[in-house]
């Protein structure tokens, strides 16, 4: 029984989302992703709270 459900779910998800997953990425989004891949990770933003530094 679980195999039948898994197959049904898999087929249903493929029918719903295959077109979206297989669609090409817009050039601007692809450029943004490629740009992030080549850069160093940004420093984390630390926002102080009313009580002081969040790490204290």
The answer to whether residues 17 and 11 touch, using CB atoms and an 8 Å cutoff, is no
> Cα separation of 36 and 11, whole Å?
34
**Tell me: the pLDDT tens digits for 37-56?**
766 666 777 777 777 655 54
3-state secondary structure the chain: CHHHHHHHHHHHHHHHHHHHHHCCCCHHHHHHHHHHHHCCCCCCCCCCECCECCCC
pTM for the predicted model, two decimal places: 0.42
User: What is the pLDDT, as a whole number, of residue 5?
Assistant: 92
Separation between Cα atoms, residue 35 and residue 28, nearest integer Å = 10
Q: Answer with the residue of higher pLDDT: 44 or 8.
A: 8
């Amino acid at each position: 029984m679980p195999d039948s459900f898994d197959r049904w779910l898999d087929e249903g998800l493929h029918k719903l989302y295959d077109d979206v997953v297989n669609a090409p990425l817009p050039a601007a989004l692809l450029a943004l992703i490629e740009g992030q891949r080549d850069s160093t990770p940004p420093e984390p933003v630390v926002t102080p709270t009313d009580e002081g530094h969040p790490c204290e």
